[in-house]
Amino acid sequence: MDTIDTMRAFLAVAHEGSFTSAGKRLGLSTRLVSKYVAQLESRLSTQLFNRTTRSVALTDVGLAYLERCRPIVEQIDELEDLVQEKQTALAGLIRITAPTGFGSNNLALALVPFMHAHPEVDIDLKLTDNRVALVEEGIDLAIRIGVLRDSTLIARKLSDMPLIVCASPEYLAERGRPGDPMALATHNCLIDENPADATAWRFRTGNRDFVVKVAGAFHANAPAAIANMAIAGLGIARCPHYVVARSLEKGALEHLFQDYETESFGLYALYPPNRHLTARVRTLIDHLATRFRSY
């Protein structure tokens, strides 16, 4: 039995916490994955997993082996990818993580033409609003929005993501249209809690930067929820452009303070610095940069 195959099976089980899920990840039967791991344990004369009817967990030896096994398999995969790069067709798996709202719509739509152009590439898209450890989770690429924290990851900026202050025509008819950003202090503002200082809305006009402290009856940690409340006429929202673009086009929301500049978040592609950037991942990043350039 190929040692690398048994190591790949071990890594998949360690990542998934299940022989069945590991088999689906590798495209193998559960029985074969179990056989591979058993042969690896036999060859090493040690137990790598504690198995019960409900769970699979690494032993202390398994954890130590995982730390040393993963980089070896990654280097072999990178070597194979280098050979594949000499071929004209891109092939292989790309594992991506992205925020749930952006990933479900904008990113998924952006991936469609890429997958049509490269049918031999498989995409495994994991959507979560939590931070994911790329190396530990075996992720090739992370798509993130906002101000990047200090990180060892390599980041490529795909586009700027402006924040749009907006409200529904119904709200403006009932409460009046604010003449300038300072008037927001008298309005019910819908608060997206994702920014560090969520109630400090920043504006710029000419050479003057200023902050307006806002307050309101509704807070949420998802921009889509904020936008939906604004569409329902409950208040004034500040959302990334991608969240409200269609509502602005349809007239369900109106863009306020267009003579003022607002904050702009970045849209980034991130990947580990110690991992060879395969041709398929590099081509996908270039595709996304072109796709999102006009945001």
Q: Which domain holds residue 182?
A: 162-263
Q: Using N-to-C axis directions, what is the helix angle for 60-84 and 279-291, rounded to 10°?
A: 80
Predicted confidence at residue 222, as pLDDT, reads 85
* 174 and 255 together in one domain: yes
pTM attached to this predicted model: 0.64
Q: Domain count for the chain, please give it.
A: 3
231 has a pLDDT exceeding 60? yes
My answer on whether 141 and 287 are in the same domain is yes
Query: 30: domain CATH number?
Result: 1.10.10.10
Whether residue 101 is predicted with pLDDT greater than 80 in this model: the reply is: yes
Please check whether residues 271 and 153 belong to one and the same domain: yes
Q: 96 and 76 in one domain?
A: no
Task: State mean pLDDT over 135-139.
Answer: 77
Q: What is the pLDDT of residue 276?
A: 65
100 shares a domain with 80: no
CATH number of the domain to which 149 belongs:
3.40.190.10
Predicted pLDDT at 137: 77
